[in-house]
Structure 1
Amino acid sequence: MGPLRLDWKYLPKAMPWFTRLLLNLRPGPFQRSVAGIRTLNEGSLGAWQRLLGSIGRSELFQEDGSLLVFERPESRQALEALRARMQQQAVAVDFWPAETVREAAPQLSPSLQGGLFFPRTGHFIDPYRVVCELFEAAKASGVRFIQAQVDGGRLHSGGVSLASDQGTLDARQVLISCGAHSARLTGALTGKQVPLDTERGYHLMLPGEHQRLPFAVTSLERKFIMTPMAEGLRLAGTVEFAGLDAPPSMQRAWQLHRLSKGLFRRDLSVEGATPWMGLRPSLPDSLPVIDRVCGGRVLLAFGHQHLGLTQAAVTAEWVGRLAERAGGAEMGAYRLDRF
């Protein structure tokens, strides 16, 4: 029930991925990963504002900041170290003493010692509605949607043929952006075996808790986040390595409610709560694959780990440039051939 769980049955299959991860924690590779994440994140807010503005739905994103709180006085040193690292990366961050936290979020426990406030962050009030609005806007602009199970494909001089349960789908150009399920089709079309795994994450939606927090709040010691949304308060976090096919361990979602106890003046209600599990597509250097390969017939965009929603719009802008052969040198860190 801790913030990180590794299913022992999955350990043999996961070991190559973890070995690569450890190698990427050496100073040189680590700094390249930090720089790659920073480049995408710095462009993410503006990209989302442009995308939602283009369909007239800017209100679905709230740039209201987020707060990282700490409870134990001995955690202050770790918080200050984190603040220094964020400032080194030019991330806007302010230290809030306990009284400022109480003024901004009065329902939080008075025992909190303070926190770090990140003003240049925000959240979606309803991620599913964002998807639906983008879907409808795409249809209105002429995009045709086909829902099919794609089992493989092949390249040919005219483009790509995909084998699906609805017959062969032919295209001049194909984008593989299937999250944690992207590796097999990428291998079939490119011949490259990508070390893609999934960090399974859980959340618990509390529909009766609409007024508890004015912005997202993360606990330093408890290692989870609470986000106010249109449906209620969403508690999220944890990482589980168990592969694509293992059934979800929903007790991990319910554990998030137990973690929230003591963070508020009054405990959160779980009446009507719904648990959820998702598959975060993760590569061992923490960077996504964003690339144009096979003579431009195959575009790739997957592996964004915990930052899929954050980096989705800026990735889409980059993919648009790749499709038009206009990709720049800034995309070099995300190339498929780094593996």
Structure 2
Amino acid sequence: MDAGKNSVDDLGDMTVIGAGIVGLASALYLQRAGFKVSLFDKEAIAAGASQGNAGHFATEQVFPLANPSLLYQLPSMLLDPLGPFRIRPTYFYRAVPWFMKFLFNMLPERRAHNSRAIKALNEQSIKEMQDILTFCDCEELLRLNGSLLVFEGNSLEEVKREWQMYSNEGVDVELLTGQQVRELEPSLTDNITHALFFTQVGHTPDPYQICLAIADKFKALGGVIKVAQVDTINGGDEGVSVLLDGKVKISSNKLLLTAGAWSKPLAKQLGHNVPLEAERGYHLMMPQDAKLSRPVASYNRKLIITPMAKGTRLAGTVEFGGVDAPMSPARADCLLPHAKALLPNIFEHANVQDGARWMGCRPSFPDSLPVIGKTKVNNIYVSFGHQHLGLTWSAISAKLITETILDKKTTLDMQPYSIDRFR
């Protein structure tokens, strides 16, 4: 589909469930293809992970999360009160099946397969996002200044191994000395000895504003966005029916499920029991200007610091506990000591009370790939499970699902993202 043109064809009614960045981008793409689109969400526009993510278009992240090295790091992560990973004790046994599949995806052949599919999405993602933002008149919300992965005291041999690993996968990356790092970002600590500079990635100063800009364009072109709880979905050759708020029944020709971490029970109604888990991500939004021009991730501390329009976002923790458990404030608060270590002159006197805590659920599959495509039920499609890369992959996912629904040749091979891979 030419993302710069609107179709004159009337392709009928389309219902999209989920108003996160993936649902919003998909709704706009489908609208421009010629569908009359209605978008439903149980809360509001970008109420979940799309609002509070790190704002990083992380196309350098070509490796699946299922990495064998985690087996050695996990005990220390769990024991460290400032560590990046937690499993709520009451949720442990519910998470075991997912982690068993996660371990399976550490096998070399599975990692290689999954990495190829991740890279295929990454290679198309920034161009497609640029097209959407240009159409929505907000190109300034995507900045292509690259990002840094910084090291504190690691041996040069270890840093070079990391550099080589990315370079071997075709990622544009430069190896910097500590002095070169501070020439790029003077506010960073002298304790940083090296960094990898990913030159072809981007960030946004406000991921929520991207969502609002897409929503505004969608509504201006006649799209409908409503807050409603989707209870049941039924579909077939004659179309789709949806029950909203336990009482309102609507019908459409086709339906797309993009409800992120809340997609699993609705997918089950369609005959797909998918191994989807909510990786509960936290951020601490601080009012201080970090005086950074690009995101800075820490190899040692496992967090990312992103300059935002209204301050500095500290993000990076992962917690397994389901979609309904309340926030654990300590998971957000533990980010500030790391920021103080990396940016001492900025955060030396900062307190967590100065900032705003946030938690959102990232929808993750054990193989680190989303599901994008058809379901067992005619006229019902899915696009969810984008793990940590929902913002990055939202526009290319929108293009792929639109091509699929229009029964056109897709830009990428869709087999790796099929929901049927979980049979």
Give me the TM-score of the superposition, normalised by structure 1: 0.96
1:7 Cα offset (Å) = 1.4
Q: Distance in 1 between matches of 2:390 and 2:158?
A: 27
1:8 Cα offset (Å) = 1.9
Q: Distance in 2 between matches of 1:66 and 1:44?
A: 16
Q: Distance in 2 between matches of 1:50 and 1:31?
A: 30
State yes or no: 1:62 paired with 2:143: yes
Q: Distance in 2 between matches of 1:289 and 1:113?
A: 40
State yes or no: 1:330 paired with 2:413: yes
The answer for the alignment partner of 1:240 in structure 2 is 319
The answer for the alignment partner of 1:223 in structure 2 is 302
Q: Distance in 2 between matches of 1:18 and 1:295?
A: 29
Q: Percent identity?
A: 38
Deviation digits for residues 302-328 of structure 1 (CA, Å, limit 9, x no counterpart): 001010111011101111111211153
Deviation digits for residues 135-185 of structure 1 (CA, Å, limit 9, x no counterpart): 110011111122210111212431111111150121111000000000111
State yes or no: 1:101 paired with 2:181: yes
Q: Is the 8 A contact 2:237 2:378 kept in 1?
A: no
State yes or no: 1:86 paired with 2:166: yes
What is the DSSP-based 3-state SS (H/G/I as helix, E as strand, rest coil) of the residue aligned with 1:218?
strand
What is the DSSP-based 3-state SS (H/G/I as helix, E as strand, rest coil) of the residue aligned with 1:152?
strand
Kindly tell me: are residues 110 and 227 of structure 1, through their superposed partners in 2, closer, same or farther at Cα, counting changes over 3 Å? same
The answer for the alignment partner of 1:255 in structure 2 is 334
2:122 to 24, 36, 41: 41
1:124 Cα offset (Å) = 0.9
Deviation digits for residues 239-277 of structure 1 (CA, Å, limit 9, x no counterpart): 111111111112110110012222124251346310100
Q: Structure 1: which 4+ aligned runs deviate by more than 2 Å?
A: 76-79, 269-272, 293-296
Deviation digits for residues 83-106 of structure 1 (CA, Å, limit 9, x no counterpart): 112111110000111111111111
1:54 Cα offset (Å) = 1.2
1:158 to 228, 231, 238: 238
The answer for the alignment partner of 2:99 in structure 1 is 18
State yes or no: 1:299 paired with 2:363: no
1:235 Cα offset (Å) = 0.4
Q: Is the 8 A contact 1:110 1:265 kept in 2?
A: no
The answer for the alignment partner of 1:139 in structure 2 is 219
Instruction: Tell me which amino acid in the other structure corresponds to 2:124.
Output: G
1:121 to 175, 194, 201: 201
1:52 Cα offset (Å) = 0.4
1:215 Cα offset (Å) = 1.0
Higher relative contact order (CA 8 A, sep 6+): 2
Q: Is the 8 A contact 2:290 2:343 kept in 1?
A: no
Give me the TM-score of the superposition, normalised by structure 2: 0.77
2:111 to 27, 30, 51: 30
Q: Distance in 2 between matches of 1:259 and 1:25?
A: 29
Q: Distance in 1 between matches of 2:310 and 2:157?
A: 36
The Cα RMSD (Å) is 1.4
Q: Distance in 2 between matches of 1:264 and 1:211?
A: 7
In the TM superposition, 1:265-280 aligns within 5 A as: 265-268=344-347, 269-270=350-351, 272-280=354-362
State yes or no: 1:72 paired with 2:153: yes
1:114 Cα offset (Å) = 1.6
Q: Distance in 2 between matches of 1:273 and 1:228?
A: 14
Kindly tell me: are residues 295 and 10 of structure 1, through their superposed partners in 2, closer, same or farther at Cα, counting changes over 3 Å? closer
Q: Distance in 2 between matches of 1:323 and 1:282?
A: 24
User: Which is worse superposed, 38-47 or 159-168?
Assistant: 159-168
What is the DSSP-based 3-state SS (H/G/I as helix, E as strand, rest coil) of the residue aligned with 1:145?
strand
Deviation digits for residues 60-118 of structure 1 (CA, Å, limit 9, x no counterpart): 110111011111143x3332222112111110000111111111111111121020100
* Residues matched between the structures, number: 336
Q: Distance in 1 between matches of 2:376 and 2:300?
A: 46
What is the DSSP-based 3-state SS (H/G/I as helix, E as strand, rest coil) of the residue aligned with 1:34?
helix
The answer for the alignment partner of 2:271 in structure 1 is 191
Q: Distance in 2 between matches of 1:273 and 1:122?
A: 24
What is the DSSP-based 3-state SS (H/G/I as helix, E as strand, rest coil) of the residue aligned with 1:53?
helix
Q: Distance in 2 between matches of 1:212 and 1:250?
A: 26
Kindly tell me: are residues 25 and 8 of structure 1, through their superposed partners in 2, closer, same or farther at Cα, counting changes over 3 Å? same
Deviation digits for residues 37-69 of structure 1 (CA, Å, limit 9, x no counterpart): 111111111011111011211011101110111
Q: Distance in 2 between matches of 1:147 and 1:107?
A: 43
